Structure formats: structure tokens, C-alpha cells
Amino acid sequence: MMNDKTKVTANYLDSLWKFFASVKLTVVVLLSLAVLSIIGTLIPQNQSPADYFKAFGPFLFQVLATLDIFDMYHSWWFQFLMILLVVNIIICSVERLRLTGKIIFTKTPKFNLNNYRQQKQRREFTVTGSAGSVVEAYRRYLSKSFRYCRVLEQGQGFAITAEKGRWTRIGVYGVHLSVVILLVGGLIGSLYGFEGFVNIPEGQSIDTIQLRNTGLEYRLPFSIRCDDFDVQFYASGAPKEFRSKLTILEDGKAGIQKEIIVNDPLRYKGINIFQSSYGKTNLDPHMAGAPEDIELSFRSTVSGMIYNRKAVLGQPVQIPEGMGKLVVERYEPDGQFRGMSIGPALLGTLTPAEGSPVPIVLAMNFPKFDMMRKGDVVISVDQSTAAPKTAYYTGLQITNDPGVWVVYVGFAMMIVGCMVTFFMSHQQLMVEIQPKGTRTAVLVAGKANKNKIGFQHKVNRLSEKLSMNDGRLS
């Protein structure tokens, strides 16, 4: 026997349980989430406190800051609502499984034949042929589209009970479970993952990034070097594509390399490196990389002709008039010539048609520099190459989210669950066949747990089919 005290506690627990299992709570929580989410779209989130202070003044700033409005999607009250939703989903599902689990997980479904016999939308007709032959023909026909199909004897006649799609009742539990899985995945990400960004000038490497939410520094388990950055523009001036050539450095050794573009990141050790932005650095020329297109002009001192040729680092360029070949070997941002600083320069080797190779120094800022060599050909670097090259930095977004696969499982489950819940149903059918005078009377009735109008159409079509050819179905 329970004493009064335990009874009160039991009642109390019982009503608490009912409260958390109720759809009313769901509606209240979902609507609150909808309405409260609006706030964060009206007040930009995660700006600097100074900006908020300026916008709202000291009093309102204090109030809003206390309520966590400036980071509301991570505030205790918003998270409280999400926890409430999860608790609601779990308790509601447990409760419903307790009540309807028997319907879902049974081998022998129950049919209350009288319910079908008294249904308003039932169809009735008569056919010739004995009840025995009709029932056999019908059973064969129905078992083609209904997985479960049993014939029961009913007095002089028979009742066929058929059903399919019992399992689709699980769909809605899948949808609800997927919501929980999504939130768990999000929680894993926020506890164990990070999200940060870093700008790397071309040619440099880094191993610390800045975290987006806190602004703190975070040290990566490796370094990233940006070997090259390249951006192309449309005629309108909008960027067409930007790409960074990255190398991962571990313990000072170069590891994997990849050229990343927007939408195609580099993933390494669970850390994702995304191309997200770029910018120009006002660097000194030391930082600038080698020019990409080297335009050279060759002036023959013999004929006076000027020839323009493109050169690529390390590849020979044939000089016209059989004056040999030139290989530009190196770019020197801060060239030296006989102890003098000559600024950015290209160093190479000229191999004349006859004679031994000579070293060549092309000072990019001084086109006439090579005249001093007094050779057959005067080589100068075209001004388009010599123009100070803009140096870029690449803006990388760097993230790690161990929860993302959990989230993706939730996504898949939610889509599949919704499809099952919305478009499939548990359908039951009863066809009763009783001898009636010289003929046989047939009654067709069905029920479905979803899309009842659509299923009734189906039942009507089916009974038309069954009444054709006097029940012989051929």
C-alpha cells in the first residue's frame, strides 16, 4: 500500500511527466524559439562592446548585456529552450512508444472487424461465384500489394484482412530523434571544435590562428605556408577565382601541398583550411614573390633591332639573330652589384653562340643597367614586369568540428524520416465476403493513419476493380 506522502509524490511526478510529454509544450517552445530568434537578426551579434555601448547608451547596454542579447544564440536562456525541446521530444517519444509500441511491433496485427463493417465510407456490392472461389481470387490479388494478408472464416463466409506500411509509423520517431542527434552534434562541435582565421602573406608561414568567438590565439599542431596566392577578376571587377598554394609544415619538414580555392578546402588531421578571403599587403619588396610574367627586351647592338620575349624562371630563352640563349635563374628582391644595392633584380646566365657563359644581372628598376656589360645584346626587364608587384595575403578560415558527422547523420535521418512520415502510411484493409442468396456480397473498407482522403480514393478504386467481371478479376 502506498501511503499518502508517496501518493502525492507519485501524482506530482505523474503530472510533471505529462507536462513534459505534452504537445502543448512543444507548440509553446517552438513558437518561443521562432519569436526569440528574431531578436538576434535585429541586433547584430558578437560585435565589439564599444560599438554596442555607442549604439544603445549606458543603461540599455547594461540591460541587454545582462540578458546576453549580444550573443543570444549562445545565451543560457536560448540553450535552456533547446534543452527543453530535447527533454520534450524524449519524454514524448517514450510515452508514445509505451502507448503505441504494441501496435508497431507486433507480428499479428489486430483488426476490429466491426469497426470496418460500420465505416461510413465502406463500399458494398455483390458478385456471382461462390464465396470460396471469390475469396481465393481476392486473396491472391490483394497479397500482391499488401504484405500481410490473412483470410478469417466468418460464419458462412470469410473476411480478408490485409495491411502494409506498419513500419512507417516509426518515421516520426526518426524525425524526432534526428533533432536530438543534430543538437548533440552541435554540442560536440562547440565543446571540442574550434573556428578561427588567419591571414598569411605570400611566402610566409604561420602556426597560430585567431579564434572567431573569443578572439584568443590558438596554436595549430602544424604550420601552414602560403607558397603562392593568385586572384583573377571578371571584367566587372568582381573576383572570379582566388587560390592559394599551401604547404603543411610539420617539425620543419614540408608535408602535403594543395592548391585550395573557395569550396575546395585542404583537410589535414581533422583540421579544415578554407580559402575565405584575400587582401593586399603593403609590403616592402622583400616580401614580394618573384614576378610571374617576365617581359624582357633584347636590343641587338649590331642591328639596332629590339626584340621582346617572355621568360620563365629556370627556362632558356633563345635570343634572336643567333646571339645565344638566356636563362633567368633567380629573383633577388634586394640585389647587390659590386657591393652596391640595386633593388629588385633578376640573376641569370647568358650563353652566347660562341664563347663561355657569362653571369647576367638585370636590375629591374634600371633598364639600362646591362649596357655596362658592353655585350652584343643589351637585355632589360620590361617596365610591366619591373612595376612593383602587388603582394597579397591569403585569408584562411580554419576549423575543426568533430561533431560534423553526427550532424550529417542527423540531417540524413531527418530527411528520410520526413519522407516516410509525410508520404507513406500504415494502411489496413478489410474485405468481407458473405453468401447472399444466389450471389455473394462483398464489403470493402480500409483505414490509414495518414492522408486519409488519398487512401479512401485508393479503396474506392480497389473496390471497383474487385467488383469487375463478377469478382473473377481477369
Partner 1 sequence: MAYNPIILSITTFIFGLAGAMYIFSWVFHREGAGRWATGVTLFAAVGNLIGILMRWYESYQLGSGYGHAPLSNIYESLVFFAFTISVIYLVVERRYQNRIIGAFAIPLAFFALAYASFGTSSKISPLIPALKSNWLIAHVMTCFVGYAAFALAFGVSIMYLLKRGNDESAATGVIGRLPAAAFLDELTHQLIMFGFLFLTAGIITGAVWANSAWGRYWGWDPKETWSLITWFIYATLLHARLMRGWSGKRIAILSLVGFSAVMFTYFGVNLLPGLHSYGAMGQ
Residue with the three cell numbers 626587364: 381
What residue 80 binds from ligand HEM, partner 1, none (CB within 5 to 8 A, per partner kind)? none
Nearer to partner 1, 23 or 50 (CB): 23
Q: Which three cell numbers stand for residue 324?
A: 645565344
Among the listed residues 226, 219, 218, 291, the one whose alpha carbon sits nearest the alpha carbon of residue 254: 226
What residue 85 binds from ligand HEM, partner 1, none (CB within 5 to 8 A, per partner kind)? ligand HEM
Assess contact for 354 and 260: CB atoms under 8 A.
Answer: no
**Site mask for partner 1 (CB under 8 A), range 259-298, x = bound:** --xxx-x------x-xxxx-x-------------------
Distance, CA of 10 to CA of 177 (rounded, Å)? 28
Residue range at the interface with partner 1 (CB under 8 A); choices 11-19, 101-109, 233-241, 293-301:
233-241
24 sits near partner 1 (criterion: CB under 8 A): yes
Nearer to partner 1, 345 or 407 (CB): 407
Q: How far is the CB of 174 from ligand HEM (least distance, A)?
A: 10
Q: List the one residue from 421, 428, 440, 463 that touches ligand HEM (CB under 6 A).
A: 421
346 sits near ligand HEM (criterion: CB under 6 A): no
Site residues (CB under 6 A) for ligand HEM, limited to 12-31:
23, 26
Residue 153, phi then psi, degrees to nearest 5: -80, 135
Distances (CA, A) of 321 to 92, 325, 368, 380: 90, 11, 21, 17
Q: How far is the CB of 85 from ligand HEM (least distance, A)?
A: 5
Among the listed residues 386, 339, 441, the one whose alpha carbon sits nearest the alpha carbon of residue 125: 441
Nearer to ligand HEM, 26 or 205 (CB): 26
What residue 401 binds from ligand HEM, partner 1, none (CB within 5 to 8 A, per partner kind)? partner 1
Residue range at the interface with ligand HEM (CB under 6 A); choices 55-63, 114-122, 136-144, 175-183:
175-183
88 sits near ligand HEM (criterion: CB under 6 A): yes
Distances (CA, A) of 255 to 5, 162, 341, 361: 70, 64, 36, 34
Query: In the bound complex, which residue of the shown chain has the CB atom lying closest to ligand HEM?
Result: 92
Site residues (CB under 8 A) for partner 1, limited to 394-433:
395-399, 401, 404, 407-408, 411, 414-415, 418-419, 422-423
Distance, CA of 67 to CA of 49 (rounded, Å)? 14
Beta bridge partners of 219: 208
Q: Could you tell me which residues come within 8 angstroms of residue 212 by beta carbon, excluding any fewer than 6 positions away?
A: 195, 196, 197
420 sits near ligand HEM (criterion: CB under 6 A): no
Give the total of residues touching ligand HEM (CB under 6 A). Answer: 12
Residue 210, phi then psi, degrees to nearest 5: -105, 130
Q: How far is the CB of 89 from ligand HEM (least distance, A)?
A: 4
Sheet holding 391-400, edge to edge: 253-261, 239-250, 217-233, 205-211, 194-201, 391-400, 271-281, 266-268
Q: How far is the CB of 159 from ligand HEM (least distance, A)?
A: 27
Distance, CA of 46 to CA of 212 (rounded, Å)? 10
Q: How far is the CB of 450 from ligand HEM (least distance, A)?
A: 6
Interacting residues with partner 1 (CB under 8 A): 23-24, 26-27, 30-31, 33-34, 37-38, 40-45, 73, 186, 195, 197, 234, 236, 238-242, 261-263, 265, 272, 274-277, 279, 395-399, 401, 404, 407-408, 411, 414-415, 418-419, 422-423, 451-453
Interacting residues with ligand HEM (CB under 6 A): 23, 26, 85, 88-89, 92, 172, 175-176, 179, 418, 421
